[in-house]
Structure 1
Amino acid sequence: MSVRVQAWGIIAGVLADTDPAGAAVRQQLSNSLDENPGVPERALLEYLLETRRSDANTVETLETAREMRLTPPTLPPRFAEQLDAIRSISRISALLENQMLMTAFQPIYGLEGKTVVGAEALSRFVSDDGAAAELWFAEAAAVGLGANLEFSALGSAAAAARDLPENLYVSLNISPTSCMDPRLPELFDHIELPIHRVVLEMTEDIAEEEYLQFISAINPLREQGLRIAVDDTHTGAGALSRMIHLRPDFLKVGRNVIGDVDKDGLQRALAACLVDFTDQIGTTLVAEGIETVGELKVLTELGISAGQGYLLGRPSVRPQDWANWNTRLDMDGLERHLAGPAGPAESHGRHGKKPS
């Protein structure tokens, strides 16, 4: 449903109310509608701004009203949810229209050769509130614009990837639902990034009821050279069984598997089991969130193929940083560097997973 249709719905509901106590409210809204003919969303927002000014002279602009998400007490409560949706749609639509997002890349190292083999694209949003990427994607999904934002982020990442060394693969975060969107194959017809360099990294588990549809949508692209990655968020028997059938090109494991793997025997045993499992199904195992040299050494000894994390390289939006990723990882230099003050711990999320 469009912003305009939702605005008309709220306005109609308010004006149809017959409670005498709300007569002044209805008159104010009617006046705002007269001043903004044919633009109900602006009429509604300006009405909200005016009523807030009357109650407390604290809001100076329409933009401030939107950002603060203020709902005047005079607005009937039953419309608050719709109003929130309008504000979110307006905010996400402005972001998409003005392309207010950037792409950071984080290096992915081959652990045996200690050289960069790929890079994960992480979205960075240009906004005053500094909201994390996962919050933007969650807000967009809540108002039906999730796929639009995902494809905008994919386009931004593909364009930025032109400045990456050509020998690196590029991991792009995407939801399984968007993999079934007809815009995905069209994307590869319009970007310069060759499909054989692209890895689509699933940001969520593939819903069981959508699994066959997902396979049907993604297999033609895999036949053209596309690769896919899944994470270890869901490692139950059902998920592992589907993984055997899916045969992803990459399985990414995080801190829940690799954290303190150099100190905890059970963690080490779990990681070893996953190495054996992925070897059996022909999948490359990637360790995310490597924070210490001890973890890196043990993961390498276990035979984990690739890794990323703050220890190996932070996300960066600067092409000059990406150009330096062809150098071999200096283990001795890492240990000397880490002998000084401890750096910040790594945080995890999706899309913008590792804030720089």
Structure 2
Amino acid sequence: MSVRVQAWGIIAAVLADSDPSGAAIRQRLSNSLDENPGVPERALLEYLLETRRNDAMAAQEPEDGPRRLAPPVLPPQIIEQMDAIQSMSRISALLESQMLMTAFQPIYGLAGRNVVGVEALSRFVSDDGAAAELWFAEAAAVGLGANLEFSALGSAAAAARDLPEHLYVSLNISPSSCIDPRLPELFAHIDLPINRVVLELTDSISDEEYLQFIAAINPLREKGLRIAVDDAHSGAGDLSRMIHLRPDFIKVGRNVISRVDSDGLQQALAACLVDFSDQIGSTLVAEGVETVGELKVLSQLGISAGQGYLLGRPSVRPQDWATWNKQLDVDVLERQLREHETASGSAPPKKSR
């Protein structure tokens, strides 16, 4: 159902209310409809904002002060619909104003100790970046998830023009958006060659969508597109499916690599995943590398690549991206880390996703 159709439904319910305390505000809603013909959502938002202002003013008045008539109490279903329309308006405004930036985080090849790729992470101009997942969740909840994803993909592809040309670019996308017909159209309109693109799936592929996903993604893989999956979404069934899907990259996180330098069971788990990825022809990438000890053991185990705050923070600055052609010196990194910890008296911060 469109925003406009929902707005008309809510407005009809509000105007049908007979509570005298809300007569004045209902009249203003009716007047706003006349002033905004054909745009009921704008009139509804003005009504919603005035209602919230009245609530706030009523809360600030002293108990012994003059009493205002309480605003009309709306049914919970109407309030939910209003909240949904407010979310739609927020996301729509974000999409229209293109308030999206892209931060890139380097991914190092652990054998050659050089940057081989980057992961694109969305940052919102009106936000510090920490709540990016909340924006995407809110968009998905009101049916605009794919729109926001494709806007983020376009923003990342445009920003990637300033990256060193030898780096691949990992773009986060939901399996549902991979089925969207806009995906092949995207590759026809961006400057980033498809053989430099890795689509990193942000969720498991549902059974209902699996065949559609394969049908949509295989023609793109034949043109050079690569895909990555996250072990966080890998139950036993998903591991079995990986044998069929054969992703180009498998990404393992802190649940696998935490204490891998001091815990024998963690080492055994990581070694099993190295063997599994070798068997199906996938590149294993360790996410969230935080200590030099972890980095050394991961390299010894044969994990192909790694990323994390230890190796490089996400950055929106092209001047930082331009430096990602230098080889990593682990001894220098270890010394710098010790000096930082001595100066600050704390361990390096963890990556916030």
Measure the CA separation in 1 of the matches of 2:166 and 2:243. Answer: 29
Q: Residue type matched to 1:15 in 2? A: L
Q: Is the alpha carbon distance of 1:10 and 1:129 closer, same or farther for their aligned partners in structure 2, counting shifts above 3 Å?
A: farther
Measure the CA separation in 2 of the matches of 1:58 and 1:96. Answer: 34
TM-score, structure 1 as length reference: 0.90
Q: Is the alpha carbon distance of 1:272 and 1:188 closer, same or farther for their aligned partners in structure 2, counting shifts above 3 Å?
A: same
Task: Look up the match of 1:313.
Answer: 312
Identity score, percent: 81
Measure the CA separation in 2 of the matches of 1:79 and 1:186. Answer: 38
Task: Look up the match of 2:166.
Answer: 167
Task: Look up the match of 1:67.
Answer: none
Task: Look up the match of 2:36.
Answer: 36
Residues 117 and 170 in structure 2, CA contact (< 8 A), matched pair in contact too: yes
Task: Look up the match of 2:350.
Answer: 346
Measure the CA separation in 1 of the matches of 2:239 and 2:203. Answer: 15
> Any idea what SS the aligned residue of 1:233 has?
helix
Pairing 1:169-188 to 2, within 5 Å after superposition: 169-188=168-187
Q: Residue type matched to 1:173 in 2? A: N
Q: Is the alpha carbon distance of 1:24 and 1:281 closer, same or farther for their aligned partners in structure 2, counting shifts above 3 Å?
A: same
**Alignment of 1:3 onto 2:23:** no
Task: Look up the match of 1:66.
Answer: none
Measure the CA separation in 1 of the matches of 2:25 and 2:52. Answer: 12
Task: Look up the match of 1:190.
Answer: 189
In the TM superposition, residue 52 of structure 1 has moved relative to its aligned partner by 3.9
Task: Look up the match of 2:85.
Answer: 86
**Alignment RMSD:** 2.0
Pairing 1:1-356 to 2, within 5 Å after superposition: 1-18=1-18, 23-24=23-24, 26-57=26-57, 74-127=73-126, 132-340=131-339, 341=341, 342-348=346-352, 353=353
Measure the CA separation in 1 of the matches of 2:216 and 2:189. Answer: 18
Task: Look up the match of 1:65.
Answer: none
Residues 119 and 169 in structure 1, CA contact (< 8 A), matched pair in contact too: yes
Q: Residue type matched to 1:246 in 2? A: L
In the TM superposition, residue 4 of structure 1 has moved relative to its aligned partner by 2.1
Measure the CA separation in 1 of the matches of 2:201 and 2:83. Answer: 29
Residues 199 and 228 in structure 2, CA contact (< 8 A), matched pair in contact too: yes
Q: Greater CA deviation, 290-299 or 328-337?
A: 328-337
CA deviation vs aligned residue, 1:140-173 (integer Å, no higher than 9, x gap): 0011110010001000101111111111111010
Q: Residue type matched to 2:41 in 1? A: E
Q: Is the alpha carbon distance of 1:113 and 1:130 closer, same or farther for their aligned partners in structure 2, counting shifts above 3 Å?
A: closer
Q: Is the alpha carbon distance of 1:78 and 1:336 closer, same or farther for their aligned partners in structure 2, counting shifts above 3 Å?
A: same
Q: Is the alpha carbon distance of 1:55 and 1:124 closer, same or farther for their aligned partners in structure 2, counting shifts above 3 Å?
A: closer
Measure the CA separation in 2 of the matches of 1:267 and 1:292. Answer: 15
CA deviation vs aligned residue, 1:314-340 (integer Å, no higher than 9, x gap): 000011111101000011111111113
In the TM superposition, residue 45 of structure 1 has moved relative to its aligned partner by 2.0
Measure the CA separation in 2 of the matches of 1:275 and 1:205. Answer: 21
Measure the CA separation in 1 of the matches of 2:156 and 2:51. Answer: 42
Measure the CA separation in 1 of the matches of 2:54 and 2:179. Answer: 49
Task: Look up the match of 1:68.
Answer: none
In the TM superposition, residue 208 of structure 1 has moved relative to its aligned partner by 1.6
In the TM superposition, residue 19 of structure 1 has moved relative to its aligned partner by 5.5
Q: Residue type matched to 2:305 in 1? A: A
Residues 14 and 76 in structure 1, CA contact (< 8 A), matched pair in contact too: no
Give 5+ residue unaligned stretches, structure 1. 60-71
Residues 122 and 129 in structure 2, CA contact (< 8 A), matched pair in contact too: no
Measure the CA separation in 2 of the matches of 1:204 and 1:295. Answer: 26
In the TM superposition, residue 21 of structure 1 has moved relative to its aligned partner by 6.4
Q: Is the alpha carbon distance of 1:51 and 1:244 closer, same or farther for their aligned partners in structure 2, counting shifts above 3 Å?
A: closer
TM-score, structure 2 as length reference: 0.90
In the TM superposition, residue 135 of structure 1 has moved relative to its aligned partner by 0.5
